[in-house]
Amino acid sequence: MAAKTAFIDFVELKNRVGIEQMARMALGDLNKKGQAFKAPCPLHGGEITISPHVVFKRDGTLGVFCCHSSAGSQGGDGIGLVAHVRQIGQKEAADLIASHFGPNPGEPRKPAPAVMPERISANPPREAQADLAAKLGKIAAELKPEHEAVQALDIDADTAKTWGVGWKGNGPFGGRVLFPLKDHAGVLKGFACFSPEKSPNWLLPDNIDPEHFIFGADAVQDGGHIVIAATPADVVRASQYGDQAVCFLTQEKTAYQAELFAALLARKNCTW
Residues that bind Zn ion (CB under 5 A): 41, 43-44, 67
The size of the chain, in residues, is 272
Distance, CA of 10 to CA of 27 (rounded, Å):
20
Q: Which residues share a beta bridge with 248? A: 214
Distance, CA of 97 to CA of 17 (rounded, Å):
8
Measured from the CB atom, the residue of 41 and 136 that comes closer to Zn ion is 41
CB of 225 to Zn ion, least distance (A): 29
CB of 161 to Zn ion, least distance (A): 37
Radius of gyration of the chain (CA): 20
Q: Which is nearest to 81 in space by CA: 38, 136, 143, 112? A: 38
CB of 45 to Zn ion, least distance (A): 8
- State how far the alpha carbon of 138 is from the alpha carbons of 131, 144, 194, in Å: 11, 13, 19
Q: Count the helix, strand and coil residues of the chain and give each as a percent rounded to the nearest 5.
A: 35, 20, 45
Alpha carbon 139 to its chain centroid, in Å, reads: 23
CB of 94 to Zn ion, least distance (A): 19
Q: Which residues share a beta bridge with 103? A: none
CB of 70 to Zn ion, least distance (A): 11
Distance, CA of 63 to CA of 55 (rounded, Å):
6
CB of 85 to Zn ion, least distance (A): 7
Measured from the CB atom, the residue of 41 and 64 that comes closer to Zn ion is 41
